[in-house]
Amino acid sequence: MGPANENLLRHGVLGVIALCMLNMPVWGQPSTLDDASAVPMPEEVDPAEMSGWILVEVAVLVDDRDETLFSEQWPARPNVRYPGNYRRLLDNDLIKQLQERFPSADVAETNDGHIKVALEDPTRVLSKAFIDEQMRLKREAEELALLEELPESGQEMTGMPDDLSDEDELRSPAMDPAPLVPLDRLNSESEAGARQPPIDRLYNPAELLPQSADASIPIHDASPIVMQRLNEDLAEGSEPESNTPPPSLPTPFVSRPLNLMAAGVRSLQRRPGNVLESAAAWLQGPNAGSRPIVFDRSGDTSPRAPLQGFIQLLTTTPLKVGINFWRATDGKYMPENFSIDPPEKAEPGISYDESTSGNSISEDVARNFQRKLSELEEFIASEQPLSDFSYTAIEEIDSIADASDLSSNDPEDWPWGHLIHIADTRTLEAGVVRYFDHPVIKVLVTYQELTWAEVYAQGHEEWLTKQAKILKAQEEIEGETEKNQQP
C-alpha cells in the first residue's frame, strides 16, 4: 500500500474526496465577458493564444475539533518564520474600508501590497484655515471700502468745467478721426512710405497660416485660431476621435474571490471539521517572479488571527508550489504546565503617516487626527467664525507612537497555548487541484493559464470599474457644488 492510500485510510472520506480532486479539472471557468469581440485588444494579438498569464487560487481549511487535536502527537515547538522578502496581495476591499474609516486621508497601495494612510495634522489644517479666513475678511473689508468711496447713484460729479457741452464732455483728443485715405491707396505699394496698417497684420490669416484645404471656406472670414482648428480637422487622413477604450491588461496580484474552486470548497465546508479560514485568488503575468505571498495581517491586527503563513509559486517547469502555514490552538492536548513562546508577527502591511512631515504615527493617533479633521471640516462648512471653534473634549494621544500597540509576547495579542505547522512543496499542473493532506490544516491550490482574450477581458472589466468610480465621484462633486450654490 502506497503513502497516498495510507493517507486515505488515515484521514477517511475527506482524503478520498481530495484524491478525486487531484485528477479532475478545476471547477468553473475564468470569468470573462460574454461578447469577446467587444473587448479591445491589440491587432497583433491572437485572442485564442495562451498568454502566459495565470489565475491562481488558494484555500486553507482548518479542523480544530478536540477529537482531531487529541488524535495526534504534535511537535512541541515548531520552527516557524516568515521569509525575508515577501509581498502581499493588493486588497481593494481593505482599501475601501480604510477610505471609509479615514475619509480625510490619502490612502494608497504600493505594488507589493503595502498600504499607506497619510493624514495632515489637524493643527496645521486649523492654522491654515484661520489664515485663509483672515485674508478673506481683509479682502472683503477692502472691497467694501472701495464701494463706499464710489459716488452714489444720481449724485452730481464735481470737478468738471462748466463751459463744456455734453458732446465735448464725451470726446477726448484720442477720439479725433485721422485724415481720410482713399480706399484704393490704403495698401498701395507705390505710395511713398505707405505701410500695411497693423490691423491687417493681426487679422490677415493668409500671412499667418497655410491655406485651408477646403477652398469653399473664405480664408479672410476666419480668425487664425479658427483656421488652425479647421486645418487640423481637414488634414489629409485625419479621423474623428473614437470612444473605444484602450486595450488594458489587468493589474497583477489583486486579491479576488475564488472562482475555479468556489463550488468544490463550498462542498467541503458542508462536511464536519472543514472551516474555511483563508482563501484568495489572483492573476499574475509571465514575468511575475517567485516572491512569497504572505496571507495574514498579524502585524496590523491585535489580537492576531490564529492562522498565519505564506505561499510561494516557483516558476520552474513544471510549476511548483510551496506552502508554509501555522495555526494557533488552545494547547489542551499538550502536557500540563506546557508553555510556548508566541510565533513572530508579520511586518505591518498598513502604515500611518503625517502627510506634511512624513513622520510615522500609530493607528490610534490616525483615528484621533481623523476625528478632529471631520469636526473641523464640518465647522468650516457651517461658515461660522473659526474663533468660535473648539474640538470635542477627548483624551489626547501622543502625536508620534509605535506602529504596533501590543508586543508579540502580550497575552492579549496571542492568547493561545500551542501551534500546529505544515510546510511542503509540490509540483502543480494547470487545471488540477493540488491538495496538501494534513489532519488540521488542509490546503488546496490550483491554477489555470488564460488566453489573451481572457486576459484582456479581465483588464477591460477592471477599466470599466475604474471609469464607473470616476463618473460617480464627478457626479458627487457636481451635486455638492449645486447644493452649495443654492440660496
Report the alpha-carbon distance of residue 268 to residue 259 in Å, rounded: 15
pLDDT average, residue stretch 427-445: 95
As a three-state string, the secondary structure of the chain is CCHHHHHHHHHCHHHHHHHHHHCCECCCCCCCCCCHHHCCCCCCCCCCCEEEEEEEEEEEEECCCHHHHCCCCCCCCCCCCCCCCCECCECHHHHHHHHHHCCCCEEEECCCCCEEEEECCHHHHHHHHHHHHHHHHHHHHHHHHHHHHCCCCCCCCCCCCCCCCHHHHCCCHHHCCCCCCCHHHCCCCCCCCCCCCHHHHHHCHHHHCCCCCCCCCCHHHCCHHHHHHHHHHCCCCCCCCCCCCCCCCCCCCECECCCCCHHHHHHHHCCCCCEEEEEEEEEECCCCCCCCEECCCCCCCCCCCCEEEEEEEECCCCCEEEEEEEEEECCCCCCCCCCCCCCCCCCCCEEEEECCCCCEECHHHHHHHHHHHHHHHHHHHCCCCHHHCCCCCCCCCCCCCCCCCCCCCCCCCCCCCEEEEEEEEEECCCCECEEECCCCEEEEEEEEEEEHHHHHHHHHHHHHHHHHHHHHHHHHHHHHHHHHHCC
- Residues 430, 312, single domain; the answer is yes
Cis peptide before 3 (omega within 30 of 0): no
Tell whether the torsion through CA atoms of 137, 140, 146 and 152 is positive or negative: negative
Per the CB < 8 A criterion, the answer to whether 362 and 401 are in contact is: yes
Q: To the nearest whole number, what is the mean pLDDT of the chain? A: 78
Identify the residue with better confidence: 89 or 242. 89
- Residue 378 pLDDT greater than 70, yes or no: yes
pLDDT tens track for 164-196: 455 544 454 545 555 554 545 545 444 444 444
- Residues 328, 281, single domain; the answer is yes
Residues 6 or more apart from 236 whose CB is under 8 A from it?
213
Q: Which three cell numbers stand for residue 92?
A: 481593494
Listed residues 359, 374, 403: the one ending a domain: 403
pLDDT average, residue stretch 388-414: 59
| Dihedral pair phi/psi, residue 119, rounded to 5° | -125, 140
Query: Residue 396 falls within a domain, yes or no?
Result: yes
Query: Residue 241 falls within a domain, yes or no?
Result: no
Burial class (CB in 10 A: 0-12, 13-18, 19+), 129: middle
- Residue 451 pLDDT greater than 80, yes or no: yes
- Residue 294 pLDDT greater than 60, yes or no: yes
| Residue 290: per-residue pLDDT | 94
Structural domain total, the chain: 3
- Residue 235 pLDDT greater than 60, yes or no: no
- Residues 110, 30, single domain; the answer is no
Query: Residue 246 falls within a domain, yes or no?
Result: no
| Residue 366: per-residue pLDDT | 95
pLDDT tens track for 61-95: 999 999 999 999 999 999 999 998 999 999 999 99
Query: Checking phi first, is residue 206 left (phi over 0); if not, alpha (psi -120 to 50) or beta?
Result: alpha
Question: Where is average pLDDT lowest: 200-214, 244-258, 468-482?
Answer: 200-214
Q: Per-residue confidence at 487, pLDDT binned at 50, 70, 90?
A: low
- Residues 77, 98, single domain; the answer is no
Identify the residue with better confidence: 34 or 387. 387
| Residue 410: per-residue pLDDT | 67
| Residue 2: per-residue pLDDT | 39
- Residues 423, 396, single domain; the answer is no
Listed residues 403, 431, 447: the one ending a domain: 403
Q: For residue 425, which of 284, 334, 290 has the smallest C-alpha distance?
A: 290
CA atoms within 13 A on the CB side of 366: 28
Cis peptide before 303 (omega within 30 of 0): yes
Question: What range does the domain containing 381 cover?
Answer: 91-135+349-403
- Residues 333, 260, single domain; the answer is yes
Query: Residue 478 falls within a domain, yes or no?
Result: yes
pLDDT tens track for 20-67: 444 444 444 444 444 556 788 998 999 999 999 999 999 999 999 999
- Residues 268, 313, single domain; the answer is yes
Query: Residue 149 falls within a domain, yes or no?
Result: no
Report the alpha-carbon distance of residue 160 to residue 164 in Å, rounded: 8
Q: First CA to last CA across the chain, in angstroms?
A: 85
Report the alpha-carbon distance of residue 248 to residue 135 in Å, rounded: 47
Q: Which residues of 81-99 are buried (b: 16+ CB within 10 A; e: fewer)?
A: ebeeebbbbbbeebeeebe
| Residue 16: per-residue pLDDT | 40
- Residue 454 pLDDT greater than 50, yes or no: yes
| Residue 242: per-residue pLDDT | 52
Listed residues 179, 210, 235: the one ending a domain: 235
| Residue 116: per-residue pLDDT | 96
| Residue 315: per-residue pLDDT | 86
Q: Per-residue confidence at 10, pLDDT binned at 50, 70, 90?
A: very low
- Residue 355 pLDDT greater than 70, yes or no: yes
Q: Per-residue confidence at 345, pLDDT binned at 50, 70, 90?
A: very high
- Residues 318, 368, single domain; the answer is no
| Residue 176: per-residue pLDDT | 53
Amino acid, res. 458: Q
Query: Checking phi first, is residue 485 left (phi over 0); if not, alpha (psi -120 to 50) or beta?
Result: alpha
In angstroms, what is the C-alpha Rg of the chain? 37
Q: Per-residue confidence at 162, pLDDT binned at 50, 70, 90?
A: low
| Residue 388: per-residue pLDDT | 84
Q: Per-residue confidence at 141, pLDDT binned at 50, 70, 90?
A: confident
| Residue 396: per-residue pLDDT | 52
- Residue 480 pLDDT greater than 50, yes or no: yes
| Residue 362: per-residue pLDDT | 93
- Residues 230, 364, single domain; the answer is no
Query: Residue 169 falls within a domain, yes or no?
Result: no
- Residues 477, 444, single domain; the answer is yes
- Residues 255, 301, single domain; the answer is yes
| Residue 277: per-residue pLDDT | 97
Q: Per-residue confidence at 384, pLDDT binned at 50, 70, 90?
A: confident
Identify the residue with better confidence: 234 or 46. 46
- Residue 223 pLDDT greater than 50, yes or no: no
Query: Residue 178 falls within a domain, yes or no?
Result: no
pLDDT tens track for 101-139: 999 999 999 999 999 999 999 989 888 888 888 898 889
Query: Residue 213 falls within a domain, yes or no?
Result: yes
pLDDT tens track for 263-281: 999 999 999 999 999 999 9
- Residues 437, 337, single domain; the answer is yes
Q: For residue 48, which of 453, 481, 403 has the smallest C-alpha distance?
A: 453
